[in-house]
Amino acid sequence: MLISKSKLLQIIAISLWALASCQTGAISISQPHKSAIAPLQAKLNQETTMIETLQKLCNVLSNAPLTAQEAATSLGTIVEDQGKDWPVIVRPSNSAFKEAQVVRQVGTNEPAHVELIVAETNKLTVKMLSDAFGSYSKPPKLHSNRPTKLVFEVDIPNMPRTCAVIADVTPQEHGVEDGIVNSVTIRRDIRLE
């Protein structure tokens, strides 16, 4: 039997409500107020939206031809574009990301990669990225004081380019497996046949 995410959240909210009611001795049989479910639903939607934003961006960057401005507007509102070899600064539509920069390939107006900073109030985890993009590789660190980087290679069939999702990770109790992602770079790569 499959349970939808919203139904699962309702079950969790009802269980938490019942547990709290039993502890206070004030149990009565009724549905929990929608305000008990809303924070759980918002968290689930936020996580899904963060991943969907990254997947959408990978899809956009896998296209060719593509301009830096097209990549930027797919993410949100352009805040600053000085042209030439300067990055395009973007305020992402998804508020889970604080800022984005579309970095141009040198001497062109094509995007080389996009850097996204995760907003401090949000949480993006290695598990969320693994669930969405599969296995990752861990390149060697050049300096011990640099953040740990994980690389997820993404190959969307029938697209002229591929992309790599590169996560800057702060390891947690179990290392990178339960690590928190501080920023993500989506690199636009040439398809090798």
Please say if the pLDDT value at position 45 is more than 70: no
pLDDT tens profile 142-166: 888 888 999 999 999 999 999 999 9
> Average pLDDT, stretch 132-146?
91
The domains of the chain are located at: 5-23+33-190
Q: Can you tell me the distance from the alpha carbon of 31 to that of 84, in angstroms, rounded to the nearest whole number? A: 59
Residues 117 and 98 sit within 8 Å (Cβ to Cβ): yes
Whole-number pLDDT of residue 13 = 44
Yes or no: say if 164 and 188 are a contact pair by the CB < 8 Å rule.
no
pLDDT of residue 180 exceeding 80, the answer is yes
pLDDT at 129: 97
Mean pLDDT, rounded, of the chain: 82
CA–CA distance, 148 with 139 (Å, rounded to integer): 9
pLDDT at 164: 98
How far, in Å, are 70, 101, 134 from residue 65 at the CA level? 10, 19, 27
Q: Which residue has the higher pLDDT, 54 or 5?
A: 54
> What is the CA 150 to chain-centroid distance, rounded?
14
Average pLDDT over residues 84-91: 94
Tell me: pLDDT of 70 over 60.
Answer: yes
pTM of the model: 0.75
165-190 burial by CB neighbour count: b if 16+ within 10 A, else e? bbbbbeeeeeebeebbbebbbbbbbe
The token duo for 92 is 């992402």
79 touches 91 (CB < 8 A): yes
Residue whose entry in the numeric block shows the structure tokens 């599969």: 134
Q: Which two tokens stand for residue 60?
A: 């956009």
**What's the average model confidence in pLDDT over 43-65?**
84
